[in-house]
Chains A and B, each alone.
Chain A
Amino acid sequence: MLPYLIKRLGSLIVSLFVASLVIFACIEIVPGDPASFMLGVNAQPDTVNALREELGLNTSHTQRYVSWISGLLKGDLGTSYTYRSPVSDIVADRLQVSVPLALYALTLTILIAFPVGVLAAAWRGSAVDLFVMGATQLGIAVPNFWFAILMVIVFAINLGWFSAGGFPGWDAGILAVIKALTLPAVALALPQASILARVMRSSLLDTLSEDYIRSARAKGLSRRQVMWRHALRNAMIPVLTIIGLQFSFLLAGAIIIENVFFLPGLGRLVFQAITQRDLIVVESVVMLLVFAVVLVNFLVDLAYAWVDPRLRERS
């Protein structure tokens, strides 16, 4: 397990290093220089110069990159130009919305996809299976922000069960938070659950056709026992991979969904920073999101090395 861990850790660090270079380069090549880009065309020359000084634009690229990275490593994400406060404070604030939203959506995804996928695989070819395949086909094709708008029309405007947008804050109580986050979480979960249910179904079908399943049946286990004891555990490997990948989609998909519901989360922060040309926020938050995604995929890799010892040995 240890050599595998070291190897994966190595590629994690390389990924993060290259990602930081790409993000840094993106910000550096904005038209003009970052200072004049951020202030726009009507800025006074001395304002631009002051910002240049603040951003350290008078130093070399290498120096700036090194100071950005060493700041990140110490938890210093820089200071936002529009908010005039440390980016880390703003991020901490926004995480109170984004993390619960992502977890809520992921929970819904798994709660929907697992039973649906298992049911479709167990009754392969039946009406249940056909219905699941049809419904998931639709779920994949629906643009989730449109689905979100439709849900707002039905459940917020007409029925008044949930709020149409905004976030009351955690002080308003858990019920108010659930009211605000349910529709966004469902919108995020719908396409993900459709994909995951299909993966679950096909992975189970693959596993159920293996020889050891036949042996288990031959030694007298019932269909149900085989399903729970042998098939499900082995079918989990591709499912875990997809869950890992879906986390990155939940983070990015939240940019759009948070905009639909005016939720003050990380996604909306990035988007607002982009329209306000607050490059420091963009640079650090994008890096943070990439870090979260790479880290989750790393943890998923470890998880299935743990589930399936064959994977450890092969590498």
Chain B
Amino acid sequence: MMSETRSSRKALKSRNLFIGVALTSIFALAALLSLIWTPYDVTQLDISSKLKSPSWEHLFGTDHFGRDTFSMVMVGAQTSISVAFIAVGIGMGLGVPLGLSAAAYRGGLLDEFIMRGNDLIFAFPSLLIAIMITAVFGPSAVNAIIAIGIFNIPVFARLSRGAALPLWTRDFILSARVAGKGSARISVEHILPNITNLLVVQGTIQFSLGILAEAGLSYVGLGVQPPIPSWGRMLAESQTLISIAPHLALFPGFAILLTVLGLNLAGDGLRDLLDPRIRRTRR
């Protein structure tokens, strides 16, 4: 009885992973495809066919400039995914070395400094600071990436420090020490490979949070600037037209929802696959 429920739970988990990866792949492929082909040119205005409802000609209808919503959702995928992906890259690129050095010199001044700095960033409402950064330096894709990326740094620093600490007491690290390797080299050669699974799982979760953050920033006009389409701004533009063209509010929203859902399911599934002990950490 017990094993039956357990195996059915397991099957459910791998189904999660499957659905998650499938959803994520659909949007990733749409983003890649949009680099070379979209059904219509998204910079092409065609006022004569504005605010068309969904039809075979325009699958998702058209907006107030007559642009094809389907094509805009495709290019929007490219915007969202690239902003969130680079932001995760910044978080990992800076956060992991910080966390690893904090663990390598644990208890020291560096450790204290890195961890207190992290606490500080954690204490701030992230969106507020992101909005402040984009406000001071002007709205642009690059500033949105930096604003989202900064808040990924403490996440990865804390995670890699926490995972690295118990490893430092293990025998294989001791042997590496005896073999004459320094702390930095041990961190890279022995600690890092052992925490990669964790980083991948957390990376997926931060990726989904990044997609949501990018959508929020571009909704209030602080993300990628026109004429490049983004899901958040499409929603902002749809808002004034909801009573005459509600379809404009549906498709970009579903795109965000399904991408984030896909990444979350994939993250959950990966976690169970790679390391059942990891507890999901969410802000």
Contact = CB atoms under 8 A, between A and B. Distances in A.
Interface of A: 11, 14-15, 18-19, 23, 26-27, 29-31, 125, 130, 137-138, 140-143, 145-146, 149-150, 152-153, 157, 195, 245, 248-249, 251-253, 255-256, 259-260, 270-271, 274-275, 282, 286, 289-290, 293-294, 297
Contact of B249 (A141, A146, A290): A146
Contacts of B256: 143, 146
Contacts of B243: 157
B185 interface: no
B277 interface: no
A125 B208 CA distance: 26
Contacts, number: 120
B127 interface: yes
Interface in B189-240: 208, 212, 215-216, 219-220, 232, 235, 238-239
Contacts of A270: 128, 131
Contacts of B282: 195
A23 B133 CA distance: 10
B44 interface: no
Interface of B: 5, 9, 12, 116, 119-120, 123-129, 131-133, 135-137, 208, 212, 215-216, 219-220, 232, 235, 238-239, 242-243, 246, 249, 252-253, 256-258, 260-261, 264-265, 282-283
Contact of B220 (A19, A130, A259, A289): A259
Given A26-B133, A125-B5, A245 B283 contact: yes
Contact of B125 (A31, A157, A289): A289
Contacts of B264: 137, 140-141
Given A31-B137, A251-B128, A286-B128, 12 more contacts: A23-B132, A141-B258, A142-B260, A248-B123, A249-B283, A251-B125, A252-B126, A252-B127, A274-B131, A282-B135, A286-B132, A289-B125
A157 B242 contact: yes
A130 B60 CA distance: 32
B9 A125 contact: yes
Nearest to B219: A145
Given A15-B123, A142-B257, A150 B212 contact: no
B220 A271 contact: yes
B95 to A, nearest CB: 18
A205 B119 CA distance: 28
Contact of A146 (B127, B129, B220, B235): B235
Given A141-B261, A149-B253, A260 B239 contact: yes
Which 5 A-B pairs have CB atoms at the shortest separation, nearest pair first?
A252-B125, A274-B135, A146-B253, A252-B127, A141-B261
Nearest to A125: B5
Nearest to B125: A252
Nearest to A145: B219
A295 B70 CA distance: 46
A293 B124 CA distance: 7
Contacts of A260: 239
Given A143-B253, A150-B249, A153-B249, A282 B239 contact: no
Given A252-B126, A252-B127, A143 B220 contact: no
A29 B136 contact: yes
Contacts of A152: 242
Nearest to A277: B135
Contacts of B129: 286
A149 B257 CA distance: 14
A290 B126 CA distance: 10
Contacts of A150: 249, 253
B125 A297 contact: no
A19 B124 contact: yes
A273 to B, nearest CB: 9
B62 to A, nearest CB: 19
A294 B123 CA distance: 6
A5 to B, nearest CB: 18
Contacts of B126: 252
Nearest to B208: A141
Contacts of A140: 260, 264
A301 B116 CA distance: 16
Given A141-B257, A143-B253, A157-B243, A290 B124 contact: yes
Contacts of B215: 143, 145-146
